[in-house]
């Protein structure tokens, strides 16, 4: 099967009896080319089906104006708000995004990074998979000094920047609020401790308990993958406990909501018997009944900030990059799920 030959500037030049240089300048809207000539060339280009070869042009300029983005899951509302912020910031700066998901797998994450590298992205934005232990798959980028910005799930490695919130303080704040309301037996549902977001929230939870004079109990820490099913599994664990918690603090709202629904189906009264608090301020927190106390976590701003930091590195060719962190504000949002009757 034959394929149609790609139209070049030489084809346009031959048809119009002009030099290839004139055609090239006209298509780039060069001021030295007469307006009528430009119009004639642009019309011929359209009729012949000429397509500008962005790839070849970008190779010459050593820039592709694309940024690679790797997220744990595209199905997360929180990640979708981050991507919306990234898309806006990238578009404003004239960049496109190539987006991939690791599906919480280190192996899949490594494959995505290789793909991004071969696509010649100008920089990489990444939120790490839950199971990632080694960062050796980032070597193609770090060895070529291609800038990397971590967001949300971050890691401190040389010449990279992290954009996150103070997860320790946020978890401390919400746990302290629960203890101030008189709750003493607080179960914390969290994710893989390999990731900063979960390890720091666990640390904040434990510190708030200690400051309230409450002893930490291993039985009240439930580690899972933070999916909808995690909420159901946490509820089943609670229902089997001889001494049930009087409050639950979950590291995301979806997990909290599913745990609440499962307990309510089993006849548990919320918040009268068990109070609930979540994290992220997802839409589900305002839909579940009672409405969920949570942490407002600025996903859109995080996405914008991460892209702006990365483009800042790309635009400053001689910038000296150092390992640093951009910490965004978060706030406690109190709703009916923690109202002690």
Taking the CA atoms of residue 329, residue 192, residue 115 and residue 126 in that order, the dihedral angle to the nearest 10 degrees is 10
Contact 332, 174 (CB under 8 A): yes
Helix axes 77-92, 299-315, angle to 10 degrees: 40
| DSSP β-ladder status, 123-126 and 66-71 | parallel
The topology under which CATH files domain 167-297+332-338 is Rossmann fold (3.40.50)
Q: Identify which of 225, 222, 249 has the alpha carbon closest to the alpha carbon of residue 236.
A: 222
Q: What is the pLDDT of residue 1?
A: 41
Say which residue, 15 or 198, is predicted with more confidence. Answer: 198
Name residue, tokens 């280190």: 106
Domain 64-165+299-328 and domain 167-297+332-338, same fold? Reply is yes
* pTM of the full structure: 0.82
Q: Identify which of 63, 10, 62 has the alpha carbon closest to the alpha carbon of residue 41.
A: 10
Tens-digit pLDDT profile for residues 244-272: 999 999 999 999 999 999 999 999 999 99
Cis status of the peptide bond prior to 124, with omega within 30 of 0? no
What are phi and psi for residue 149, nearest 5 degrees?
Answer: -125, 120
Does domain 9-52 bear CATH number 1.10.3720.10?
A: no
Domain boundaries, the chain: 9-52, 64-165+299-328, 167-297+332-338
Q: What is the pLDDT of residue 322?
A: 52
Which CATH number describes the domain made up of 64-165+299-328?
3.40.50.2300
């Amino acid at each position: 099967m034959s394929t149609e030959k790609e139209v070049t500037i030489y084809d346009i030049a031959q048809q119009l009896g002009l030099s290839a240089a004139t055609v090239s300048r006209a298509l780039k809207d060069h001021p030295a080319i007469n307006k009528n000539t430009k119009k004639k060339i642009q019309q011929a280009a359209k009729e012949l089906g000429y397509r500008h070869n962005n790839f070849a042009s970008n190779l010459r300029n050593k820039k592709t104006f694309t940024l690679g983005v790797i997220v744990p899951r595209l199905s997360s509302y929180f990640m979708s708000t981050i991507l919306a912020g990234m898309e806006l910031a990238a578009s404003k700066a004239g960049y496109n995004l190539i987006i991939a998901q690791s599906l919480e797998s280190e192996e899949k994450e490594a494959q995505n990074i290789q793909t991004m590298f071969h696509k010649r992205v100008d920089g990489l934005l990444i939120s790490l998979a839950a199971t990632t232990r080694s960062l050796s798959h980032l070597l193609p980028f770090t060895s070529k000094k291609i800038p990397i910005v971590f967001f949300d799930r971050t890691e401190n490695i040389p010449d990279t920047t992290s954009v996150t919130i103070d997860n320790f303080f946020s978890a401390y704040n919400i746990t302290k609020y629960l203890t101030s309301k008189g709750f003493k037996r607080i179960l914390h549902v969290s994710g893989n401790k390999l990731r900063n977001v979960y390890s720091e929230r666990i640390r904040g939870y434990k510190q708030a308990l200690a400051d309230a004079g409450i002893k930490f109990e291993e039985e009240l820490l439930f580690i899972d993958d933070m999916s909808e099913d995690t909420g159901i599994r946490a509820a089943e664990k609670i229902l089997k406990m001889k001494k049930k918690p009087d409050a639950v603090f979950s590291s995301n709202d979806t997990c909290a909501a599913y745990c609440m629904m499962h307990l309510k189906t089993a006849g548990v009264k919320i918040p009268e018997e068990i109070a609930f608090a979540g994290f992220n301020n997802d839409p589900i927190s305002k839909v579940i009944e009672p409405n969920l106390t949570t942490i407002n976590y600025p996903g859109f701003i995080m996405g914008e900030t991460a892209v702006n930091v990365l483009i800042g590195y790309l635009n400053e060719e001689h910038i000296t990059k150092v390992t640093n962190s951009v910490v965004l504000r978060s706030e406690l949002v109190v709703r009916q799920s923690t109202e002690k009757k």
